[in-house]
Structure 1
C-alpha cells in the first residue's frame, strides 16, 4: 500500500480546473495558450472525449455600445459550429457568459501552435513542404467560400493557421471574426490585420476574394519569414501603401519567377483574383499529391 505521503503527492500531481463550462463537460486550466485584443485562449480538457481542447474567451465589452454587433457575433459563431472540414479548426461548443460579459467557445487544439511560430522555428523547409501547407490552407478556404451560406474569414494570417507538426497538417482557425454572407457574397464591416487586409476591405464593400489576398500574404510570409509591410512603422503607412497598390518589399526577395507570379495572382485586383478552387488547379501545386493531402500521412 502507498504511504500517506505518497497519496498526498499523487493527489498534488493532478491539475485542477479553474473553471467548468455550463454543460460540465469542459474544464479550463489556468494555462494561457494565446491572447489578442479581445480574445484569450486557454488550455482546456474535454472530459467526455478525454482530449485537450482550446477554451476561447472573447470580451464583449469591446462591443458594449453595439448590441447588434454582439448578437451578430454570437449568432455567427454558433453557425460556425456546423462547419466540418479537416483544414478548419473544429468548433465544439459556444455559450455566452452574462456574468463575465464574454462569449466562450471550445475548439480543437493543434499540437504545434500557429504557422508563424512553427515556420520561424523550422527555417529549413523545402518548397514542396511550403506548397503542401499552402494547398491545405486553400482547401480550407475553398470549403468556406463554397459553403452555403458563404463564409468569409476576414482575418486570415499565419498566426491564425495552426499546425499538427507530426502530420504536416495545417488548419485555419480564429473564425470568430468570420462573416456569413448571403447570395451576393458581399460584406461591409472593416475587420482584420492591416498587413494582410485587401485594399477593397478598407472600402467596406468586398467579397470572399479578400481571403485570397490574405492567403497570398500568408504565402509571402512563409517564403520570406517576414511579415508583409515590415518596412512600415505604423498602420497609416500600411494603409497608404495597400490602397495605392504598392506591394510589400518582401515580395522583391522572391527570386523564383513562378513562385512570385503565384503570389502576384493572389494579390491582383478583386475581379482578376482567382478563387480558391481555381488556385488549387494552378501549376504551382503540380508536385503536391492531393491524395497524400487527403490522408494527411506525410511527415516533414
Structure 2
C-alpha cells in the first residue's frame, strides 16, 4: 500500500472493506477493495479471487476497470477504477418523485446493454445486476457496471445452478432452483430498466417468500403513460417468465427504440474513451522508499537471543544470528554477504542467474542487489572484495505478509507465504510469473490462479516453475519444450496447469532444472520428466543384473526413475544441475548421475556408462544436503563440512583451484562454531546460510 494513500472508507460488506485511495505517483483516485483471506477456506479464497479473475478479463468503457491486485496485511487488495458519480440507485433516490426523460433512460440503458454484451461474449454471467452495482462518472452521463464478486465464468454455453444474487432482481428460474444462463442477466437488466422508468423496483415484498411469489407470478405495476409503447413492450419482453422467450442482447439491440439510442450514444458521447488495459496503473514506476523507513520499533533493540557474556560475565560483542556466504561468478572463495540488520536471522536462501535471495525467521524476504553506481569493488581485478557489490534490501510492498520460502529462476523470483499464497516478480519471459501474460512485474504479485490452493513448496527452473499443494496437487507453468512441465506435451503456459501424477504416488516436493523436472514422493521415490540427456533423471532402464536395458532421451509426463539403484532406494533429497543430478538416500549416501564432462559427478566413469553411482570419496561420511550447479556439485555433511567438486573456473568451487573430480572441503572462515541451514546453487553461483551453535555454558 505504499503506492497508495487511503482517503476514506466508501463501503463495507460481507467480504471486506472498500476504500477510496489515491495513487501517489499518478495522483489518480482509485478504489481498493480489501478482502481478508487469512482465515478463509479454499472455497472462500476461490470466491474472493473470482472478482479479480473476471475483472482482468473485461476491458470496456462501461465496465469498472481493473488495475492490479496484491497481498497486504494478509488481505487481498483489488485496485479498480473509481466512479465519482455514485450509483444509479443513489441517483434515482435523489430525484424524489421526478421521473426521468425517456431519452435519459435509454442513454443509461444502452450503455448497460453494451457492457453486458461484452460480459456475455466472454462466457461470463454477472449474476448480481442491480442499480447499486451500476455506477456513474462525475458528469453522470457515463455508466460503469461493477461488483463482479459473484460472477460465474461458464466453461461452455452451459447453465449455472447456484442460487446467488440480490433477491429483488433474481429471475423466476433461479427462484425455482432451475439451471440458468445469460437470460437471468437479461431479467435483472429488465428490472433495472423498470426501475429507471418508475423510480421503484419491479418486485418488492415484506419478506422473502412473498417476494419469490411475486417474481414467480411476474406481476408488477405498469410504468407511466408518459413513456412510449416501445419502452413498455421492451420491459415486458425482458421480464417474461419463460427465459426462452426473453430476447437476447442482439435482439434487443435490433429494436428501433434501442437503435436510435445507440446512434445517439456514439454521436453525443463520442468522448467516452475505451479503457487501456495495456497500460494499467501497475505498470507505472513504483514509489521507492528508504530502507530505513519501514524499520519497526522491535528492530531498534537488539534481540536478547543475540546477546552473549564473556568469561567475566560482562557484556561481550553480540554474536550474529546468521551468516550468509557466497562464492562463484568471479568470487573465488566464500565471502560473507552484508545483512540488513545485525539481528537478522536468515533461515533459507536461493540464488538464480542474477538474483540472490533469503528468508528471515520473522518472514521477511531479503534481496542482495548490485548497486547501479559502480564502486571500487566493482572495478576489474577487484574480485577479492566482490562481496561489497551486493547490497541487501527487504522486499517492499508486502507489510504484514510472512514469507516462508523463496525460489529464484532466470531473472525472476517466486516467494511463498505462510498461508500458502504464491507471489512472483521479475521477468515475465516464457510466462514464468504465472500471471497469464509475459509482462515484467516489478513488485511481488499474487499468482491468482493458485489463490484457491494452499501451496506448500515452489521450485523455479531456468524458464519454468512448479508448485505442490498441501493436498499433493502439482502445478507447472512456463516454457514447455522437452516436456519439462509434465503435461503430456511440449507447449508453454503462462498460467499454472494441473500436472497428472501417476497413481498411487503422492508428491511432497518439486524440483526444477534447466530443461527437466523431478518430483519426490511421500514414499521417497523419484518421478522425472523432460530431457533425460546423459540419464540425468535416472529414467533409463538399467537393471543391476544382466536384464536388457533401455535408454530414455525425453519424457513429457512424469514417470518413476528406473535406473538401479534409484528404482529401489529410498531418496531423502535430490538436486538438479544443467546436465547432471545428485540424490541423497535416507542413510545419507550421495549418488550422482548424468554428464561428467567436468568431473561434476565426483568420480571417473566410462562415457557410455549412464548408471547412478555413489561418490566414492564421500562413502564414509553422512551427507545431509546436496546442490548442483551448471558444472559443479556441492555437498554438506551432517557435521557441517562443505565439499565441492567439478569445474573450478570463476570460483565455482569456493577455492583458488581449477577442476577436480575429487570432493574437497571449502573453508568457511568464521570465528564461531556454526551449522549450515540452507544452500542453493544456480549456474556458477553458490549461496549458503549458517547459524551459530551455542557453546556449552554460554548465556544467550
What residue is the counterpart of 2:198 in the other structure? 224
1:165 Cα deviation after fit: 4.2
Structure with the greater alpha carbon radius of gyration = 2
What residue is the counterpart of 2:640 in the other structure? none
The alpha-carbon distance between structure 1 residues 234 and 104, as it changes in their structure 2 partners (threshold 3 A), is farther
1:259 Cα deviation after fit: 1.7
- Specify the SS of the correspondent of 2:168: helix
Q: Give the alignment partner of residue 34 of structure 2, picking from 54, 57, 74.
A: 57
Counterpart contact for 1:78–1:94, Cα < 8 Å = no
What residue is the counterpart of 1:266 in the other structure? 238
The alpha-carbon distance between structure 1 residues 180 and 129, as it changes in their structure 2 partners (threshold 3 A), is same
Cα displacement string for residues 18-44 of structure 1 (whole angstroms, at most 9, x for unaligned residues)? xx2xxx333323x12223343432111
Give the 5 Å matches for 1:6-25: 20=1, 24-25=2-3
What residue is the counterpart of 1:170 in the other structure? 143
Counterpart contact for 1:54–1:109, Cα < 8 Å = yes
1:209 aligns with 2:179: no
Counterpart contact for 1:53–1:106, Cα < 8 Å = yes
Give the 5 Å matches for 1:61-76: 64=40, 67-75=42-50
TM-score (norm. length: structure 1): 0.80
Higher mean displacement: 161-170 or 33-42: 33-42
List runs of 5+ in structure 2 lacking aligned partners.
273-700
Counterpart contact for 1:169–1:296, Cα < 8 Å = no
What residue is the counterpart of 1:239 in the other structure? 212
Cα distance in 2 for partners of 1:68, 1:175 equals 17
Give the 5 Å matches for 1:82-231: 82-96=57-71, 99=74, 102-122=75-95, 123=98, 125-147=100-122, 150-166=123-139, 168-202=141-175, 203-230=177-204
Higher mean displacement: 52-61 or 190-199: 52-61
Moved over 4 A (4+): none
- Specify the SS of the correspondent of 2:35: strand
The alpha-carbon distance between structure 1 residues 240 and 67, as it changes in their structure 2 partners (threshold 3 A), is farther
Cα displacement string for residues 173-205 of structure 1 (whole angstroms, at most 9, x for unaligned residues)? 111211111112422211110000111223151
Cα distance in 2 for partners of 1:226, 1:75 equals 31
1:117 Cα deviation after fit: 0.6
Cα displacement string for residues 27-69 of structure 1 (whole angstroms, at most 9, x for unaligned residues)? 323x1222334343211112232210111123559x94x5224
Higher mean displacement: 83-92 or 31-40: 31-40
1:166 Cα deviation after fit: 1.5
1:235 Cα deviation after fit: 1.7
1:282 Cα deviation after fit: 1.5
Cα distance in 2 for partners of 1:76, 1:204 equals 24
Bigger proportion of residues as strand:
2
Instruction: Give the count of matched residue pairs.
Output: 264
1:214 Cα deviation after fit: 0.3
What residue is the counterpart of 1:45 in the other structure? 22
Counterpart contact for 2:47–2:150, Cα < 8 Å = no
Cα distance in 1 for partners of 2:43, 2:253 equals 37
TM-score (norm. length: structure 2): 0.36
1:27 aligns with 2:2: no
What residue is the counterpart of 2:249 in the other structure? 276
What residue is the counterpart of 2:439 in the other structure? none
Counterpart contact for 1:76–1:179, Cα < 8 Å = no
Cα distance in 2 for partners of 1:273, 1:60 equals 39
The alpha-carbon distance between structure 1 residues 183 and 293, as it changes in their structure 2 partners (threshold 3 A), is farther
1:216 Cα deviation after fit: 0.4
1:254 aligns with 2:232: no
